[in-house]
Each structure stands twice: as C-alpha cells, then as structure tokens.
Amino acid sequence: MKILVLNGSPKREKSDTMHITRAFLEGMNEASPQDVHIVNIIDKHIEFCTGCFSCKRNGGECIHHDDMKVLLSEVLESDLLLFSYPLYAYGMPAPLKAFIDRTMSLSSMAMKKQGDRYVHVGQADFSHLRYMMICGCGFPNSKQNFEPAIMQFKLMFPNNYNIITVPESPMFNASEAAEVTAPRLELVRQAGKQYAGKGKIDDSLLAEICSPMIPEEVYAAICNGEIMP
C-alpha cells in the first residue's frame, strides 16, 4: 500500500505523536511490506489559502506556486493518507490546517447533497483513498479534548477513515515512562497489523489504545511536579 504520512507536528521526527505513528506503520509492515513516505509539513512551503476560489473554477489551478502542487499529486497517487499530529487548541496545528485548506482545489464549486449535508463535487477522483488520523495530546483526558478534531476529521473524510487518539502522549518521549509506553506501543503495532490485514481495528483494541496510560490524577501530579515519576 502506498502510504503518505503527513506529520503535522512542528517537532518533526521528535514528535511525541510520531512514536505512535511509527509503531502503527511497523505493525502494518509486519502484515505486508508497505511503501511509506513521511512528509514533515513544517518543512514545506505552503502558502495560506486566500479564499479566492479560482482553483474551484479553474480545473484545480491555484494562484500560489509552492510545494502544494507536488503534495497534491502525491495525495492522489496514494492509497492511504495518514495524518499524524498533536492536538493544538482542540484541533490541528496551523501548518497542517494550511495544507488541508489548500486541498480545496481537489473539489469544484458545485455542491451535492450527501445524506443530511452538502459537500463539494470532486474535480479529481479520490474515491480510492483511505484516511487515518493519529493524534496525541498533552492532557490526560480524552473527553472534552479530542472531540472537535475527531468531528472535523469525520466531516472532511466521511468514508474509509480510522482514528486513533492517545492522551498523555508526552510520555512517549520520556524514557522513565517506558514501562507504560512500551506496552501501549505494542498495542498500536497490533492495530497496524490488523488495519493492514482487514482494513479495520477491533473496537476493544482501539478503546485500550485511546485510554490514558496512567491514571489522570497521577499524570497531572507528575506534570505539576507534585510527585516524582
């Protein structure tokens, strides 16, 4: 499978979230060899969308001439888009949002009804694409934290999506936490293997992966320097 990893963390490969993403890809590779290309979005020249809509009336031609042209062709040549990013203000980091906004050119101005809502009609065929969101965050709570990002992802990519969210993710970069992060990454590897094999992840496994690694009060106390890890 051709996998385009869009790493939205400004920390590039030092990203807490990328620990989860790498474990997932390892699991996928274990099931069958994958063709993976990782793009650090922060290193790409991506101008902000100006909202002129000329791309929507213009066969997809944007007024900006930057790295998006190559990135969009890579998107269309991929089988799976894996968005790996930290939760920033309950959403995605700004550079990744700039990338998402610039995918505007893939659809036309025309709208059509789909279920209860309207969506734009495609200017390109991306029906073959599958979408994966892997998101880490700094707070120990999943509830009242990840929901806006999850909802945004589901609305953007209503078909063929899977979502992994992991709270307390700075622990992945703390060697003292290996006792709890290593087993969690093993579960993520299993999820990657399942996903590559059957295109989905068992609900029970997903629930385990998305739960806090240590009790939230303990995590908060460690972060606040009240107890030693």
Ligand X SMILES: Cc1cc2nc3c(=O)[nH]c(=O)nc-3n(C[C@H](O)[C@H](O)[C@H](O)COP(=O)(O)O)c2cc1C
What is the secondary structure of 114-158 as a DSSP string? ETTEEEEEESS--TT-EEEEEEE-SSS--TTTSHHHHHHHHHH--
Pairing of strands 130-136, 107-114: unpaired
40 vs 169, beta carbon nearer ligand X: 169
Q: Residue 57 has what DSSP assignment?
A: T
Looking only at the bridges linking them, the beta strands covering 35-40 and 107-114 are: unpaired
* Residue 12 in the binding site for ligand X (CB under 6 A): no
Q: Is 24 an interacting residue with respect to ligand X (CB under 6 A)?
A: no
Give buried/exposed letters for 51-62 (b at 16+ CB in 10 A, else e).
eeeebbeeebeb
- For residue 40, state whether it binds ligand X (rule: CB under 6 A): no
**Residues binding ligand X: number (CB under 6 A):** 17
Distance (Å, whole) CA 110 – CA 123: 10
Give the nearer residue to ligand X in terms of CB position, either 95 or 170.
170
Single out the residue of 170, 180, 205, 216 in contact with ligand X (rule: CB under 6 A).
170
Among residues 29, 120, 129, 138, the one that binds ligand X under rule CB under 6 A: 138
Least distance (Å) between residue 98 CB and ligand X: 15
Contact of 30 with 193, CB cutoff 8 Å: yes
Near ligand X by CB under 6 A: residue from 132, 137, 164, 177: 137
Residue with tokens 């968005």: 83
Q: Which residues contact 76 (CB under 8 A, 6 or more apart)?
A: 106, 124, 125, 126
Q: Measured from the CB of residue 103, what is the shortest distance to ligand X in angstroms? A: 22
CB of 166 to ligand X, least distance (A): 9
The least CB distance from residue 120 to ligand X, in Å, is: 28
* Residue 21 binding ligand X, by CB under 6 A: no
CB of 220 to ligand X, least distance (A): 12
By CB under 6 A, is residue 169 in contact with ligand X?
yes
- Applying CB under 6 A, the residues found at the interface with ligand X are 9, 11, 15-17, 86-90, 136-139, 145, 169-170
